Structure 1
Amino acid sequence: MKTRLNGLYIVLTISSIFLPHTNVTAMERPEIKDSERHSYEANSQLSARLFETVDKRVLNKVIFDAALHSKSELVQLNALKGLSRIGGKNILPLVKPFLSTSNDELRRVAVLALGQSKSKQANELLWSLLKTEKTTIIRAEIYLALANLTEDNLVSKFLSQKENKLSVQKSIYHSLAATLTYHRDIKQDYKLIDFPSLVNQVAKDNELSGPIAYFLARVPNIDQYVLPSQMTGLTTSVTSLKNKRLVARLIGKIVKKPDVANRQILSWLIEQSENKDIRLATEAIRAMVSFLYIPQAKIQMGKLHASSNILVAQTALQVLADSTLTGKEILSLLKKQLKSESTGMVVAAMSGLIKRQERDDMSWALKIMRHKSTYVKVNFANLIFEKDPKAFANVLKMLSSDPNQIVANKVKKLINTPASNTEESNAQINGTASFKLAKLSSNKTVTLKTSIGDIVIKMNPEAPYSAHNFVTLVEQGFYNKSYFMRVIGNFVAQGGDPIGDGEGTSGKSIREELSFLSHTVGSVGMATAGKDTGDSQFFINTGDNIHLDRNYSIFGHVIKGMDVAMRLAHGDQIIKAIVE
Structure 2
Amino acid sequence: MRILHCLTALSHHSKLAKPLSLAFFTLFFAGCSVLTPKAAPCVETQVLYRLADMRQINETAFNKALACDNLETVQLALINLGRIGDEQASNLILPLLKHSNARVRETAAFALGISLHKPATPNLIEQLEQEKNSKVRAAIVLAIGNLGGDQSVHTLARLIENTEDAQVANAAMQGLGIMSVFHRHLLTGDTEIEVARVIDRLRDEETALKASFLLARVPLLRDPHVPDVIALLRDKNNSLDSATQAFMIRALSRLGHKDITPFLWEKVGGENNAIQIAAAQALGIRTLTSADQIQALNDLALKESPALQVTVLQSARRWMTPQTLKALRESDNSWVQSAAFLATNDKAQPEVQKLVKAWLESDDPNHQRAVIQYFVELDMPPVLKQLAESDKAIIRIGAQRALNTYQEPKTEPQATPAELPDLLEKGAAKVKLTTTQGDIVIRLFKDTPYTSANFLRLAESGFYENTYFHRVIPNFVAQGGSQLGDGSGSVGYSIREELNQRSHLKGTIGMATAGKDTGGAQFFFNLAPNLHLDSNYTVFAEVVEGMDIVMSLEQNDQILKAEIIK
**TM-score, length basis structure 1:** 0.82
Contact 1:399–1:411 under 8 Å retained in 2: yes
CA distance, structure 2, for counterparts of residue 26 and residue 503 of structure 1 = 43
Give the secondary-structure state (helix, strand or coil) at the position aligned to 1:437: coil
Which residue of structure 2 aligns with residue 435 of structure 1?
A: 418
Structure 1: unaligned runs, 5 residues or longer: 1-23, 29-39, 420-424
Give the secondary-structure state (helix, strand or coil) at the position aligned to 1:500: coil
Contact 2:65–2:77 under 8 Å retained in 1: yes
Query: 1:361 Cα deviation (Å)?
Result: 8.9
CA distance, structure 2, for counterparts of residue 503 and residue 238 of structure 1 = 47
| Paired residues for 1:216-365 under 5 Å | 216-219=215-218, 221-222=219-220, 228-229=226-227, 231-237=229-235, 240=238, 242-243=240-241, 245-256=243-254, 259-261=257-259, 265-291=260-286, 293-295=288-290, 296-321=292-317, 324-325=318-319, 330-353=321-344, 357=347, 362-363=352-353, 364-365=355-356
Query: 1:143 Cα deviation (Å)?
Result: 0.8
Amino acid in structure 2 at the alignment position of 1:453:
G
CA distance, structure 2, for counterparts of residue 406 and residue 286 of structure 1 = 28
Are 1:569 and 2:554 counterparts? yes
Which residue of structure 2 aligns with residue 446 of structure 1?
A: 431
Which residue of structure 2 aligns with residue 78 of structure 1?
A: 76
Contact 2:42–2:65 under 8 Å retained in 1: no
Which residue of structure 2 aligns with residue 190 of structure 1?
A: 190
Distance 1:474 1:376, change over 3 A: farther
Which residue of structure 2 aligns with residue 462 of structure 1?
A: 447
Which residue of structure 1 aligns with residue 177 of structure 2?
A: 177
CA distance, structure 2, for counterparts of residue 47 and residue 159 of structure 1 = 39
1:69-91 deviation per Cα after TM superposition (whole angstroms, max 9, x unaligned): 23333322221121111111111
Query: 1:409 Cα deviation (Å)?
Result: 5.0
Which residue of structure 2 aligns with residue 401 of structure 1?
A: 390
Query: 1:523 Cα deviation (Å)?
Result: 0.9
Which residue of structure 1 aligns with residue 148 of structure 2?
A: 150
CA distance, structure 2, for counterparts of residue 434 and residue 91 of structure 1 = 23
Query: 1:538 Cα deviation (Å)?
Result: 0.9
Give the secondary-structure state (helix, strand or coil) at the position aligned to 2:185: coil
Which residue of structure 1 aligns with residue 29 of structure 2?
A: none
Distance 1:371 1:387, change over 3 A: same
Contact 1:278–1:566 under 8 Å retained in 2: no
Which residue of structure 1 aligns with residue 199 of structure 2?
A: 199
CA distance, structure 2, for counterparts of residue 494 and residue 311 of structure 1 = 15
Query: 1:141 Cα deviation (Å)?
Result: 0.3
Distance 1:447 1:184, change over 3 A: same
Which residue of structure 1 aligns with residue 164 of structure 2?
A: 164
Match of 1:55 among 50, 53, 56: 53
Distance 1:201 1:51, change over 3 A: closer
Give the secondary-structure state (helix, strand or coil) at the position aligned to 2:386: helix
Contact 1:46–1:63 under 8 Å retained in 2: no
Give the secondary-structure state (helix, strand or coil) at the position aligned to 1:308: coil
Query: 1:368 Cα deviation (Å)?
Result: 2.3
Which residue of structure 2 aligns with residue 33 of structure 1?
A: none
Segment of structure 1 superposing worse, 299-308 or 177-186: 299-308
Contact 1:205–1:239 under 8 Å retained in 2: no
Give the secondary-structure state (helix, strand or coil) at the position aligned to 2:497: coil
Give the secondary-structure state (helix, strand or coil) at the position aligned to 1:446: strand
Contact 2:205–2:240 under 8 Å retained in 1: no
Contact 1:235–1:268 under 8 Å retained in 2: no
Distance 1:301 1:58, change over 3 A: same
1:193-228 deviation per Cα after TM superposition (whole angstroms, max 9, x unaligned): 3324433553x3633233212101111x44667665
Segment of structure 1 superposing worse, 55-64 or 308-317: 308-317
Query: 1:47 Cα deviation (Å)?
Result: 2.9
1:476-527 deviation per Cα after TM superposition (whole angstroms, max 9, x unaligned): 3222222222223332222222222334433321111111222112111111
Give the secondary-structure state (helix, strand or coil) at the position aligned to 1:458: strand
1:134-163 deviation per Cα after TM superposition (whole angstroms, max 9, x unaligned): 111101100110011112463343121232
CA distance, structure 1, for counterparts of residue 190 and residue 351 of structure 2 = 46
1:213-245 deviation per Cα after TM superposition (whole angstroms, max 9, x unaligned): 2101111x4466766555443443376564454
Segment of structure 1 superposing worse, 292-301 or 450-459: 292-301
1:297-318 deviation per Cα after TM superposition (whole angstroms, max 9, x unaligned): 4333322222223222222222
Aligned-pair identity in percent equals: 29
Query: 1:330 Cα deviation (Å)?
Result: 2.7
Which residue of structure 1 aligns with residue 86 of structure 2?
A: 88
Amino acid in structure 1 at the alignment position of 2:304:
S
Contact 1:452–1:568 under 8 Å retained in 2: yes
CA distance, structure 2, for counterparts of residue 575 and residue 46 of structure 1 = 39
Are 1:381 and 2:372 counterparts? yes
1:356-407 deviation per Cα after TM superposition (whole angstroms, max 9, x unaligned): 64699942322322334133213421442354132xx3366257434x4454
Amino acid in structure 2 at the alignment position of 1:348:
A
Which residue of structure 2 aligns with residue 523 of structure 1?
A: 508
Amino acid in structure 2 at the alignment position of 1:138:
V
Which residue of structure 1 aligns with residue 26 of structure 2?
A: none
Distance 1:381 1:241, change over 3 A: farther
Amino acid in structure 1 at the alignment position of 2:311:
T
Match of 1:542 among 502, 507, 527: 527
Distance 1:87 1:431, change over 3 A: same
Distance 1:239 1:397, change over 3 A: farther
Amino acid in structure 2 at the alignment position of 1:27:
K
Amino acid in structure 2 at the alignment position of 1:287:
A
CA distance, structure 2, for counterparts of residue 504 and residue 244 of structure 1 = 35
Amino acid in structure 2 at the alignment position of 1:346:
Q
CA distance, structure 2, for counterparts of residue 341 and residue 165 of structure 1 = 53
CA distance, structure 1, for counterparts of residue 247 and residue 187 of structure 2 = 24
CA distance, structure 2, for counterparts of residue 292 and residue 574 of structure 1 = 40
Give the secondary-structure state (helix, strand or coil) at the position aligned to 1:556: strand
Query: 1:92 Cα deviation (Å)?
Result: 2.2
Contact 2:216–2:248 under 8 Å retained in 1: yes
Give the secondary-structure state (helix, strand or coil) at the position aligned to 1:448: strand
Amino acid in structure 2 at the alignment position of 1:199:
I
Distance 1:155 1:432, change over 3 A: same
Segment of structure 1 superposing worse, 247-256 or 104-113: 247-256
CA distance, structure 1, for counterparts of residue 549 and residue 118 of structure 2 = 45
Match of 1:109 among 104, 107, 116: 107
CA distance, structure 2, for counterparts of residue 206 and residue 413 of structure 1 = 46
1:307-352 deviation per Cα after TM superposition (whole angstroms, max 9, x unaligned): 223222222222223xx44xxx634422332222222112212321
Give the secondary-structure state (helix, strand or coil) at the position aligned to 1:124: helix
Which residue of structure 2 aligns with residue 11 of structure 1?
A: none
CA distance, structure 1, for counterparts of residue 255 and residue 49 of structure 2 = 54
Which residue of structure 2 aligns with residue 208 of structure 1?
A: 207
CA distance, structure 1, for counterparts of residue 136 and residue 497 of structure 2 = 23
Give the secondary-structure state (helix, strand or coil) at the position aligned to 2:115: coil
CA distance, structure 1, for counterparts of residue 499 and residue 256 of structure 2 = 44
